[in-house]
Structure 1
Amino acid sequence: MGLQEERKVAVITGASQGIGAALVDAYRKLGHAVVATSRTIALANDAGVLAVPGDIADPATADRLVSAAIERFGRIDTLVNNAGVFFAKPFTDYTPEDYATAIGVNLTGFFHLTQLAVGQMLSQGGGHIVTITTSLVDNADARVPSVLASLTKGGLQSATKSLAIEYATRGIRANAVSPGTIRTPMHAEETHHFLAGLQPVGRMGEIDDIVGAVLYLETAPFVTGEILHVDGGVSAGH
């Protein structure tokens, strides 16, 4: 049991592809055990990775994730809230289904899983929460209608700061990474030229840019409440 208790454990949502899958690999290279979840995640060949399929919008998924992490690995040191949905539609075109999906994945999933993870971290004496948001939250762009993203991911950025301050003296840090447009399977190839043009640097970001930002925050004990923009200059201006 001693080795189980000494090895750090990361829980990563939205972990089946793109940024999430890369984060699983990155935390394994750090020596962490990983509990990875998404609706379609496959079983892992790595004994240090526990795959738990589930819809993060369902509160029962959070219960199963935390229970599985404790049962298998004994603790939770880091939670990466990576799962998210984005609908680029004019405000008046959003459907009730769009709203329910965005609230469920982006907010409800974050709330239940983070609450349970923080409870576990408090019992251990500390931990780290990293949440992936979007640079559009505080840098709206007329070319990319994003009210529903701002409503939900903006809430996550504010919650990150509140968590950081509430638990600053209790060993728990909370930070966010705020990406620009990143080259992931979410974006069809034919949209890449347009999306590259949205970033002042003239290109899309890469998955490794976001992974590097998360790993920096993971290893920065004096950083909490930070919204780290990794957006090719979007947050600086146009």
Structure 2
Amino acid sequence: MKAKTVIITGASTGIGRAIAKLFLDRGNNVIMNSASEENLEKTYKEFGSPSNAITVAGDVSNRKVGEKLVRTAIDNFGSIDILINNAGVFQPKPFLDVQEDELDRFISINLKGTYFTSQAAIKRMLEQNGGSIVNIGTVLVDHAIAGFPASAPIVSKGGIHALTQQLAAEFGKDNIRVNTIAPGIIRSPLQGKIGVEDADGLAGLHLLNRIGEPEDIAETAYYLATSNFLTGETINVDGGHVAGHQFG
């Protein structure tokens, strides 16, 4: 396959890191983004400072960051073929305890970040007669857990699921494909950030009785990004979390 130019937000750790590595290993040009410049540079060096990767630090809740990512891709590689909207934040908290600034944070980073970065990318994709966007949502949008209250981040992720279908409908005629991955429990730094000390202890939530690895999401992202006849879909990559439950 001819090398593509890929923008990956939230690319310094966890799922985003695995996606960036996979696309780089397969010979693509990658614009790596993270809100943490320190983490981003560390990951870039761990990758061996590849010549086909460029780092752009910045918080995607600022729409100018998305515009800069697209501009960097064009200036250095001449196109933007794929956008992976992975940057996001997540933190469980009971509904009645959520403050307005907390809700605003999830909506700004998760939903607005995806919205405006996609807007910047699609403007260029229209000029190129095509492109692909892969968003990262969550299975919790359609499969809530009573003991895991997280209404604020889930509302923002639900907006991403809805946005996926709308953009697929609006730009399908322009050969721009938009899909979402809804991960289950994935082994990543996020688990520690939300207070989960033993992620493997949540394996029972999945029919496969194990949690997922970042590479599981990366492989799906690669497939969705390069598939020519798939759009408007939300793919659960969750070890059977949504499909059913273990009993006994």
Q: TM-score range by the shorter chain?
A: over 0.9
Give matches, 1:194-213, under 5 Å.
Answer: 194-213=201-220
Does the CA contact (< 8 Å) of 2:24 and 2:30 recur in 1?
A: yes
Deviations 1:108-158 (A, max 9, x none): 111111001001001011000000100000111112112112211111111
Does the CA contact (< 8 Å) of 2:184 and 2:212 recur in 1?
A: yes
**Does structure 1 residue 112 correspond to structure 2 residue 108?**
no
Supply the distance in 2 between the matched residues of 1:217 and 1:135 (Cα, whole angstroms): 17
Supply the distance in 1 between the matched residues of 2:148 and 2:198 (Cα, whole angstroms): 12
Supply the distance in 2 between the matched residues of 1:176 and 1:65 (Cα, whole angstroms): 20
Superposition deviation, residue 18 in structure 1: 0.8
Supply the distance in 2 between the matched residues of 1:29 and 1:77 (Cα, whole angstroms): 17
| Percent identity of paired positions between Structure 1 and Structure 2 | 41
| Aligned CA-pair RMSD | 1.5
Supply the distance in 2 between the matched residues of 1:193 and 1:223 (Cα, whole angstroms): 32
User: Of 205, 209, 228, which aligns to 2:235?
Assistant: 228
Q: Between the two structures, name the one with larger relative contact order (CA 8 Å, sep ≥ 6).
A: 2
Give matches, 1:185-200, under 5 Å.
Answer: 185-188=189-192, 190-200=197-207
Supply the distance in 1 between the matched residues of 2:199 and 2:67 (Cα, whole angstroms): 38
User: Of 144, 148, 152, which aligns to 1:148?
Assistant: 152
Query: Which amino acid is 1:31 matched to?
Result: G
**Does structure 1 residue 21 correspond to structure 2 residue 17?**
yes
**Does structure 1 residue 31 correspond to structure 2 residue 30?**
no
Structure 1 unpaired stretches of 5+: 1-5
More off after superposition, 184-193 vs 94-103:
184-193
Supply the distance in 1 between the matched residues of 2:71 and 2:189 (Cα, whole angstroms): 30
Query: Which amino acid is 1:26 matched to?
Result: L
Superposition deviation, residue 27 in structure 1: 0.9
Supply the distance in 1 between the matched residues of 2:185 and 2:199 (Cα, whole angstroms): 9
User: Of 133, 138, 163, which aligns to 1:129?
Assistant: 133
User: Of 85, 91, 95, which aligns to 2:99?
Assistant: 95
SS at 2:173 equivalent: coil
Supply the distance in 2 between the matched residues of 1:180 and 1:186 (Cα, whole angstroms): 12
Superposition deviation, residue 7 in structure 1: 3.9
Q: 1:193 to 1:46 in 2, by over 3 A?
A: closer
More off after superposition, 204-213 vs 75-84:
204-213
Aligned to 2:66: 62
More off after superposition, 65-74 vs 124-133:
65-74
Supply the distance in 2 between the matched residues of 1:73 and 1:59 (Cα, whole angstroms): 21
TM-score (norm 2): 0.89
User: Of 139, 142, 147, which aligns to 1:138?
Assistant: 142
Aligned to 1:3: none
SS at 2:106 equivalent: helix
TM-score (norm 1): 0.93
Number of aligned positions between the proteins: 233
Supply the distance in 2 between the matched residues of 1:56 and 1:26 (Cα, whole angstroms): 22
Supply the distance in 2 between the matched residues of 1:76 and 1:223 (Cα, whole angstroms): 19
SS at 2:198 equivalent: helix
SS at 1:84 equivalent: coil
Query: Which amino acid is 1:63 matched to?
Result: E
Supply the distance in 1 between the matched residues of 2:189 and 2:111 (Cα, whole angstroms): 22
Superposition deviation, residue 198 in structure 1: 2.4
